[in-house]
Structure 1
Amino acid sequence: MRIAMMQMAMTEDMERNLQVSYEAVKEAAGVDLLFFPEVQHMPFLPQYTADELPDYLLDPDDPRVTAFYDLARQAHCMVSPNLYLQYRGQAYDTSLFIDEKGNLLGKSAMVHVTSAPQFYELDYYTPSPDGFRVYDTSFGKIGVVICFDRHLPESIRTCAAMGAELVLIPTANLTTEPLDLFEWEIRVQAYQNNVFIAMCNRVGREGDVTFAGQSLVVDSEGQTLFKAGGEAGLVYCDIDLEKCKASRQARPYITLRRPEFYR
C-alpha cells in the first residue's frame, strides 16, 4: 500500500488553499491513500483567541467540500481532507474519509479539545459527539485521530481496539514544540497498539508560529519508516499492513486488556 501526505503551507486565501489541495489529489493519482494536515483550507487561526467564528467555516455539502469526492474517484485514490466544518449546529475540526470510488465513508471530528497558548482551540472547535471512527477499506481498517487527540493514549488505543491497522493523524506541530518527543510518542503508541501510524503536518510561517513539517510514518514495530523535511509538497511511503498481524501475534496487547480495572 502506498500512502501520500501533503505538507501544506497555508495562506489567508481559502480558495487558493483549496486549489492546492485539489491539485495534490490529481498529482497523487496512482497512490492508494492521500491525506492532509489539520484544517488545510485556512490559516491556523486558533493561534489567536476569538469571540466569533471565522468566515472559513464550511458546510459539508458545500461544492468546495464535495469536490474532493469527484477528485478521489478520478484519481482512484482514498482521500482524507481535514477541514473546518459546520454541522449539527456546531463547528468541528473534521477529517472526511473518502474511498477510491468517491464515496464518503464518514466524518471524524477531533474528540479532545483544549486551549493553550497559540492553540486556543476551544474558541473554534466543538468536541466530537461521535468519538473515534475506523473505516473498512480494501487495504484494511483505517482510523483517524486528529492532532491533540494523539496525546491521550486512549485515542489510538481505541482505534486499535476497533481493529484499525493504520491510524492517520492530521496535525499542526510547531518548530518550538518537542518534536523528538512527539516522534517517540508516536513510535511507542504504534508499538503498544500494533498499528501503523502516519502523521501529516503543516509547514511555513503563519503569524507568530512556524509549522515544522516532519510528517512521518511509523510501523507496527515502532520503527520510523519515513520522516519528511520542512518543505511543502507531497511525500510518499510504502507500507505493508499485513505486518500488523505478525505484531499482534507476537505482542497481543489488545486481547490482554482488562478494562474493568481501568479508571
Structure 2
Amino acid sequence: MPGPHRVRVALVQAEAEPDRDANLRRQDRLFRKAAEQGAEVICTQELFATPYFCQEESVAAFRWAEEIDGPTVRFLQDQARKAEAVVIGSFFERRAPGLFHNTAVVIDAAGELLGCYRKMHIPDDPGYYEKYYFAPGDLGFRVWSTSAGRLGVLVCWDQWYPEAARLTALQGAEILFYPTAIGWHPHEKESEGAAQADAWRTIQRSHAIANGCFVAAVNRVGVEKGPGGRAIEFWGRSFVADPMGRVIAEASAEEEVLLADLDLGLIEEVRIHWPFLRDRRVDAYGGIAARYLG
C-alpha cells in the first residue's frame, strides 16, 4: 500500500527500573502524551519494560522473559487501540523452553499484532552480554505495510550494519525504526563519550542517506547499575533523520517523547536526485556474503 504523504512519529525514551509494573505505568503516561499530540506511530526503546539486565550473565534474569502473547505485548496492543496509532515495542521473548530472543513487535492501530522482528546481530561486549540470553533472529529482515506507511524494524546492535538497513529498505521500507539501549561506561565517558555518541548518530544518518529513507532511533536514558558497582549511563538523544541524513528531531538525555513529522514524499524526490538504487552494481556484490575476503 502507498504511504501517506505525512506521518507523525513519536519516540518514547524513558528510564527503566527493576519493576515491570512501574515501567509499564511510566510508559502508559508517555504513550498518552504521544497520543494527545497526534502520534500515528509510537516506538519504544529496546527492552522498555525491563532494566537492561544484560550487564551480567545471570540465570535469574530469565525471569524477565515472556511469551509473545504475554503481558508486555498485550500492554502494547492496548496502547495501540487507545492511541489509534501503530505501535512498535521491544521485549524479551521466551519462544520455547530454553530458547529466547530480543524481539520487536509491530501492532496496528486497531491493536492487531502484525508480526515481529527478532534481533539479528547479537553483541557480546563488557556490560552487553546479550549472547548469553538471546538466540540470533531467524525471521530475516522484514517490512510491514501499515496505516502510517511501510515500516521496517531493526534493533540496537543491528544499527551498525549497512547490510541490515539495505535489505530492509530494498523491501520498500519508508522508515527504519531502531529501538536501542546504548550508553557509556562511566570510566569511558570523558575520554571516548563524545566520539562514541557521534559514531552512533553518524552510522544511522548514513543508512538514511544510502537508502533514501527515514531513520528513527529511540534510546533509553538514565544510569542503571550493574554488578560490582559498575553501571551504564544511557545517553538518550533519540533522533529522526530524513532521506538526506538531516536530523529533523532530536531528544535530550532526559526522559521525553520526541515527535517528528515526516514527509514521505521526500523519499522519491531524494531518490530521483541521488539514484543510489538505480546505480547499484548488483552483479558485483557476491562477495558481501563472505565473512572476510582478505
TM over 0.5: yes
Contact 2:212/2:267 (8 A) holds in 1: yes
**Equivalent of 1:137 in 146, 150, 173:** 146
C-alpha displacement of 1:51: 4.8
C-alpha separation in 1, matches of 2:61 and 2:16? 19
1:176-215 matches, within 5 Å, as 176=189, 177=193, 178-207=196-225, 208-215=231-238
C-alpha separation in 1, matches of 2:165 and 2:33? 30
C-alpha displacement of 1:258: 3.0
Using the aligned pairs only, state the percent identity.
Answer: 31
Partner of 2:70: 62
C-alpha separation in 2, matches of 1:31 and 1:165? 17
- Confirm or deny that 1:216 pairs with 2:239: yes
**Equivalent of 1:163 in 156, 172, 189:** 172
Mark the runs of 5 or more structure 1 residues left unpaired by the alignment: none
> What's the RMSD between the two structures over aligned residues?
1.5
C-alpha separation in 2, matches of 1:167 and 1:183? 14
C-alpha separation in 2, matches of 1:49 and 1:253? 43
TM-score, length of structure 2 as denominator length: 0.85
Aligned residue identity for 1:103: E
C-alpha displacement of 1:53: 4.8
**Rg comparison, structure with higher value:** 2
Contact 2:86/2:148 (8 A) holds in 1: no
Task: Select the structure that is richer in helix.
Answer: 2
Contact 1:48/1:119 (8 A) holds in 2: yes
Mark the runs of 5 or more structure 2 residues left unpaired by the alignment: 1-6, 226-230, 288-294
- Confirm or deny that 1:248 pairs with 2:271: yes
1:39-58 matches, within 5 Å, as 39-51=47-59, 53-58=61-66
Structure 1 SS opposite 2:115: strand
Contact 1:139/1:241 (8 A) holds in 2: no
User: Which digits, 9 at most, give the CA deviation of each residue in 1:202-261, with x for residues without a partner?
Assistant: 000001111000001100011111111111121211111111111111122223323342
C-alpha separation in 1, matches of 2:158 and 2:16? 22
Aligned residue identity for 1:139: A
Count how many residue pairs are aligned between Structure 1 and Structure 2: 263
User: Which digits, 9 at most, give the CA deviation of each residue in 1:33-90, with x for residues without a partner?
Assistant: 1101110111111111235652111111123421321221121111111111111552
The structure 1 segments of at least 4 consecutive aligned residues displaced by more than 4 Å after TM superposition are none
Partner of 2:32: 26
Structure 2 SS opposite 1:235: strand
